[in-house]
């Protein structure tokens, strides 16, 4: 449906977006995820035609639109600031795209009413944007895009100005609507929870480059680069030296079939388990998050680790513990090297 | 803060009284004169009120004609200035082009030229071009005065419209022109109207251009006022003042809502 | 498609778009800029050129004879001196009063302060010719002010009308709003906490004024001064209606030379001299603003 190839945008010689390549299938919802300034909004604006790329190619539905301006592309965008026109009523806002297309008046009225129903705003047609709440305004902005039946719907952090509770509700509604109408959607966000919840696939961006494209679960379990691993979820990180396929991670011997050299090993907090054969640590802080407990511990050498556990068996601050990583992700030069497995600690084994 | 206990703000009231007298007193005396039929020293107020002099003034061609001339001159000059300045203001606010900063700055820097001396130089050039004493000669000079109002306020107005509003329209398939007409213009209209009124009123009462470029063939309302103010019959000038200024004052008050004090100050570079 | 061949270079579409934008921008600003050029630069240059052309038998030569004539004429010099002195006095007085009002407004609130603020901006809505005429009626002999004073038993009022004080009052009246606008804007940037902190550290009222408040409005004050100066030095209406018949302010002098005496050559010399004197303040105004622009980036 949408094909982006090698898209590049320069900003005064810096590359705002560099060689972005990905596909979006019909009816798919893709999230562009990354920290602010990573180029995700610029990438979206290039797809919309609001910014022209310095290099690369964009195809929509098999048609090259790289050099087409925004008003000649079958895309419609929902802006972060909702960008409603306050000199028009809600209905006039929604009707704008249809008026531009030159549709007859009765047809416009019909379609506008249908679009407002779709976003749950029956009876709001004559209101002014100034009389709407933040959530309602963003629904109108969505209706304004849906009514022109765009081939690709673009959303630039549409919910980030709203409060958390409302954001969660709108997210769910959007997902349901998108499934029902089979809308091809690109959704930009810096909020990984939002991306995980909404996306069929996530495109993780960093410093203008695409780091990884994958399903939400895959990104979490198998981050392909160190940047993605650090950005998504929490990690316990230490860089160690690998020698003859063995290394020592904070006192835990691990095996990794790879050439000798420095290697960064990361372990998710939930991949640490209490095990008598493991790393000796002392609890420094216990944080009750409700459904689970987050525990910060320190090794004898002073390295800090984060561990999560259930409510039962909750440790006390200062208590000694032995933790064993079950799964460690290994990276060298920022790229994935493999998965390191812990091996039995010989001394410990002898002691037992 | 014990010192700020409720006490009568004597200082404030004194300043207020002094300023009321200084600011309102002069205007008040003109308004009283306009409705006075007999006001002889040493009466504090007129001994006879009435609209006698309004009837006299409105019945004279020598009064009506300059007013109509002024309105025509000012309308043409302000409208023409708006037609060339508003698109320029849009360009200054939205487009990138070489020399943008310098050009925009030159419109403030123009304030640094003493106007009267400049008009003398223009008058001499116009003298050679036979433009002195002509309608269009005055219009062109008045446009210059209008331009200084109509670049800065509209530029600030266009700048304050979030670009996303225009992009949203563009993205939905509208052409640049259509976006400008349907979105940008309505958004900027209050401030544009305010700049129009401000320029209109300031030109309407401008003595300098009419005096140096227009006189004696073109008699404008301010020139008439200037000649009437030397007359023995005080009421004539007073009536003219009230008749023209009060509507303008009301208009200015209306438009002030659409312009921040800061915006006005920025137009002068302050 | 040029994109794949040279990923670092700008694609044709981007270049065309930038070119279009540049051209559109220049085209849109051309008209008012042209007006500025034709009506400011051209006449000024030609005027300066004219004043150095001295007529001799059978033609003209370049020289400063016209200027020598101006400075040899004691009446012209007196007018120039009179203009400069009263312009300066008017500027300083207007600024001082505005500063006083602004400081009062900074430290007060409530209805009285709001009314004072509104009154101080009122002259913004009153054209010069209206206030000049109104001041004639108010301050003039047997005017409203004299009547009011006599009501409260003060007699012996001597009118400033047709003395240098007349235009002075007019100039000050006209020029209260602009400095009040810019000074109150500057002063509002100093938080109450900053002032209280200084007071805690033992700073007196004058020290707070000169070391904390005034530095905030320093630039605005300079610009306001320059603007008032440039407006007053070339004023016509206020001194014409309120001032003495002699000496004259330069505006009145120039108008009489050009309009009544029909001597454009002399009027041009007067205008050039006025422009040169103003250009000191004008150049300073431009420089102050340029510095501000650079600072803002």
- Over residues A207-231, the mean pLDDT reads 92
Chain B, nearest residue to C271 by Cα: B117
Count up the domains in chain B and report the number: 2
Q: Are B35 and B115 contained in the same domain?
A: no
Q: Are B131 and B179 contained in the same domain?
A: yes
pLDDT at C284: 87
pLDDT at C3: 37
Residue B102 lies in a domain: yes
| Distance of alpha carbon B45 from alpha carbon C256, whole angstroms | 37
**Rounded to a whole number, what is the distance in Å from the CA of B176 to chain A's nearest CA?**
9
The rounded mean pLDDT for chain B is 87
Q: Is residue A199 scored above 90 in pLDDT?
A: yes
Per the CB < 8 Å rule, is A54 touching C9? yes
| Full residue range of the structural domain in which residue B39 is found | 10-49
Nearest to B172 among A76, A80, A86 (CB): A76
Percent of chain C with pLDDT over 70: 94
pLDDT at A348: 47
Residue B232 lies in a domain: yes
CATH number of the domain within which B92 lies: 1.10.3720.10
- pLDDT digits 0-9 by tens, C92-109: 999 999 999 998 988 888
Per the CB < 8 Å rule, is A96 touching B162? no
pLDDT at C2: 36
Q: Are B72 and B203 contained in the same domain?
A: yes
Distant-in-sequence contacts of B24-28, Cβ < 8 A, 24+ apart: B24/C119, B24/C122, B25/C138, B25/C144, B25/C145, B25/C148, B26/C131, B26/C134, B26/C135, B26/C137, B26/C138, B26/C139, B26/C144, B26/C173, B27/C126, B27/C130, B27/C131, B27/C134, B28/C144
- pLDDT digits 0-9 by tens, A30-75: 999 999 888 999 999 999 999 888 889 999 998 999 888 888 899 9
Torsion angle of C-alpha atoms A39, A45, A47, A49, degrees rounded to 10:
-140
A148-152, B118-122, C3-7, C47-51, range with the lowest pLDDT = C3-7
Q: Is A298 on the interface with B (CB under 8 A)?
A: no
Q: Are B27 and B82 contained in the same domain?
A: no
Q: Are B110 and B218 contained in the same domain?
A: yes
- pLDDT digits 0-9 by tens, C140-153: 888 889 988 888 88
Residue B182 lies in a domain: yes
Domain architecture of chain A: domains with CATH: 2-228 (3.40.50.300), 234-351 (2.40.50.140)
Q: Are B154 and B45 contained in the same domain?
A: no
Q: Residue A352's pLDDT band (boundaries 50, 70, 90)?
A: very low
- pLDDT digits 0-9 by tens, B15-33: 999 999 999 999 999 999 9
DSSP per residue, A152-170? EEEEESTTTTS-HHHHHHH
pLDDT at C6: 42
B144-148, C3-7, C282-286, range with the lowest pLDDT = C3-7
pLDDT at C4: 39
Tell whether ipTM is more than 0.85.
Answer: yes
Against chain B, the chains showing at least 3 CB pairs within 8 Å are A, C
Structure tokens at C255: 């108008």
| Residue A20 vs residues A43, A206, A309, C52, C237: alpha-carbon distances, Å | 8, 11, 39, 68, 67
Structure tokens at A188: 């930009």
Q: Are B130 and B257 contained in the same domain?
A: yes
Q: How many CA atoms lie within 13 A of C154 on its CB side?
A: 8
B121-125, B187-191, C2-6, C208-212, range with the lowest pLDDT = C2-6
Q: Are B81 and B43 contained in the same domain?
A: no
- pLDDT digits 0-9 by tens, A276-330: 888 889 999 999 888 889 999 998 888 889 999 888 878 888 888 888 898 899 9
Percent of chain A with pLDDT over 90: 56
Residue B78 lies in a domain: yes
Nearest to B171 among A70, A81, A87 (CB): A70
pLDDT at A13: 63
Q: Are B39 and B69 contained in the same domain?
A: no
Interface test with B, best of A74, A76, A85, A146 (most B CBs within 10 A): A85
Q: Is A56 on the interface with C (CB under 8 A)?
A: yes
Q: Is residue B100 scored above 50 in pLDDT?
A: yes
Residue B238 lies in a domain: yes
Q: Are B20 and B87 contained in the same domain?
A: no
Q: Is residue C11 scored above 80 in pLDDT?
A: no
Percent of chain A with pLDDT over 70: 97
Nearest to A6 among C7, C13, C14 (CB): C7
Q: Are B35 and B151 contained in the same domain?
A: no
Q: Are B130 and B74 contained in the same domain?
A: yes
Closest CA to A96 of B174, B165, B164: B174
pLDDT at C196: 84
Against chain A, the chains showing at least 3 CB pairs within 8 Å are B, C
Higher pLDDT, C45 or C185: C45
| Distance of alpha carbon A219 from alpha carbon B23, whole angstroms | 72
Residue B55 lies in a domain: no
pLDDT at C254: 93
**Rounded to a whole number, what is the distance in Å from the CA of B172 to chain A's nearest CA?**
5
| Residue B187 vs residues B184, B191, C174, C248: alpha-carbon distances, Å | 5, 9, 33, 49
Residue B2 lies in a domain: no
Chain B, nearest residue to A147 by Cα: B172
Per the CB < 8 Å rule, is C11 touching A57? no
Cβ contacts of C14 on chain A, cutoff 8 Å: 52-54
Q: Is residue C14 scored above 80 in pLDDT?
A: no
Percent of chain C with pLDDT over 90: 45
**Rounded to a whole number, what is the distance in Å from the CA of C11 to chain A's nearest CA?**
5
Q: Is B114 on the interface with C (CB under 8 A)?
A: yes
pLDDT at C293: 60
Residue B37 lies in a domain: yes
């Amino acid at each position: 449906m949408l094909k982006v190839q090698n898209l590049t945008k320069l900003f005064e010689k810096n590359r705002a977006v560099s060689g972005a390549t990905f596909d979006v299938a019909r009816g798919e919802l893709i999230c562009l995820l990354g920290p602010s300034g990573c180029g995700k909004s610029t990438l979206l604006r290039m797809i919309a035609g609001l910014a022209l790329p310095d290099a690369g190619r964009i195809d929509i539905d098999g048609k090259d639109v790289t050099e087409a301006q925004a008003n000649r592309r079958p895309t419609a965008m929902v802006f972060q600031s909702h960008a409603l026109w306050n000199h028009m009523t809600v209905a006039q806002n929604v009707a704008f795209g249809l008026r531009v297309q030159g549709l007859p008046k009765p047809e416009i009225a019909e379609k506008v009413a249908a679009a407002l129903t779709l976003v749950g705003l029956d009876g709001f047609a004559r209101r002014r944007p100034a009389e709407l709440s933040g959530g309602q305004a963003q629904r109108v902005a969505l209706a304004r895009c849906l009514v022109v039946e765009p081939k690709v719907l673009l959303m630039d952090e549409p919910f980030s100005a709203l409060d958390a509770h409302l954001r969660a509700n709108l997210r769910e509604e959007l997902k349901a609507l998108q499934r029902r109408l089979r809308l091809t959607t690109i959704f930009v966000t810096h909020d990984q929870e939002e991306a995980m919840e909404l996306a069929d696939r996530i495109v993780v961006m960093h410093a203008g480059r695409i780091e990884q494209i994958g399903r939400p679960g895959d990104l979490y379990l198998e981050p392909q680069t160190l940047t993605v691993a650090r950005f998504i979820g929490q990690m316990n990180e230490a860089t160690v030296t690998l020698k003859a396929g063995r290394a020592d991670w904070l006192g835990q011997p691990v095996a990794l079939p790879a050439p000798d050299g420095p290697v960064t090993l990361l372990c998710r907090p939930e991949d640490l388990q209490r095990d008598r054969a493991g790393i000796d640590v002392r609890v420094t802080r216990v944080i009750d998050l409700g459904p689970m407990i987050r525990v910060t511990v320190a090794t004898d050498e002073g390295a800090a680790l984060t561990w999560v556990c259930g409510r039962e068996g909750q440790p006390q601050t200062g208590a000694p513990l032995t933790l064993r990583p079950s799964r460690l992700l290994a990276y060298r030069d920022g790229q994935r090297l493999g998965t390191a497995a812990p091996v039995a600690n010989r001394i410990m084994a002898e002691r037992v | 803060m014990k010192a700020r206990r409720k006490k009568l703000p004597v200082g404030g009231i004194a300043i207020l009284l002094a300023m009321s007298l200084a600011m309102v007193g002069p205007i008040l005396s003109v308004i009283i004169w306009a409705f006075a039929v007999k006001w002889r020293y040493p009466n504090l107020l007129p001994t006879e009120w009435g609209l006698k002099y309004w009837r006299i003034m409105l019945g004279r061609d020598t009064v009506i004609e300059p007013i109509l001339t002024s309105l025509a001159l000012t309308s043409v000059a302000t409208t023409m200035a708006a037609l060339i300045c508003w698109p320029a203001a849009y360009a200054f606010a939205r487009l990138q082009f070489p020399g943008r900063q310098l050009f925009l700055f030159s419109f403030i820097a123009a304030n640094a030229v003493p106007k009267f001396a400049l008009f003398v130089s223009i008058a001499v050039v116009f003298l050679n071009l036979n433009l002195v004493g002509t309608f269009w000669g005055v219009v062109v000079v008045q446009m210059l005065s209008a331009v200084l109002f109509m670049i800065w306020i509209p530029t600030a107005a266009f700048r304050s419209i979030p670009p996303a509003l225009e992009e949203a329209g563009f993205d939905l398939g509208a052409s640049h022109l259509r976006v400008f007409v349907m979105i940008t213009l309505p958004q900027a209209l209050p401030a544009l109207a305010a700049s129009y009124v401000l320029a209109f009123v300031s030109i309407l009462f401008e003595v300098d251009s009419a005096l140096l470029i227009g006189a004696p063939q073109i008699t404008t309302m301010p020139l008439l006022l200037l000649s009437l103010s030397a007359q023995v019959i005080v009421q004539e000038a007073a009536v003219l003042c009230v008749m023209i200024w009060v509507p303008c004052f009301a208009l200015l008050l209306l438009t002030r809502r659409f312009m921040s004090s800061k915006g006005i100050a920025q137009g002068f570079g302050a | 498609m040029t994109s794949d061949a040279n990923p670092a270079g700008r694609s044709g579409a981007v270049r065309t778009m930038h070119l279009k934008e540049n051209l559109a921008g220049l085209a849109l600003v051309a008209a008012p800029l042209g007006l500025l050029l034709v009506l400011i630069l051209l006449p000024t240059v030609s005027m300066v050129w004219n004043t150095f052309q001295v007529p001799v038998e059978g033609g003209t030569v370049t020289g400063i004879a016209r200027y020598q004539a101006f400075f040899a004429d004691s009446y012209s010099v007196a007018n120039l001196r009179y203009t400069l002195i009263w312009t300066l006095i008017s500027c300083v007085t207007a600024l001082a009063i505005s500063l006083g009002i602004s400081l009062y407004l900074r430290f007060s609130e409530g209805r009285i302060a709001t009314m004072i603020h509104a009154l101080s901006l009122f002259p913004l809505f009153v054209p010069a010719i209206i206030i000049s005429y109104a001041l004639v009626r108010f301050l003039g002999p047997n005017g409203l002010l004299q009547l009011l004073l006599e009501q409260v038993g003060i007699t012996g009022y001597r009118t400033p009308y047709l003395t240098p004080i007349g235009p002075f009052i007019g100039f000050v009246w006209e020029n209260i709003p602009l400095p009040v606008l810019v000074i109150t804007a500057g002063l509002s940037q100093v938080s109450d906490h900053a002032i209280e902190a200084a007071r805690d550290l033992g700073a007196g009222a004058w020290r707070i004024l000169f070391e904390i408040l005034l530095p905030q409005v320093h630039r605005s004050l300079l610009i306001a001064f320059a603007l008032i100066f440039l407006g007053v030095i070339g004023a016509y209406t206020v001194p014409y209606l309120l001032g003495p018949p002699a000496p004259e302010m330069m505006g009145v002098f120039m108008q009489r030379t050009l309009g009544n005496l029909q001597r454009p050559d002399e009027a041009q010399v007067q205008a050039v001299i006025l422009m040169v004197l103003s250009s000191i303040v004008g150049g300073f105004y431009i420089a102050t603003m340029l510095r501000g622009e650079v600072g803002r980036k």
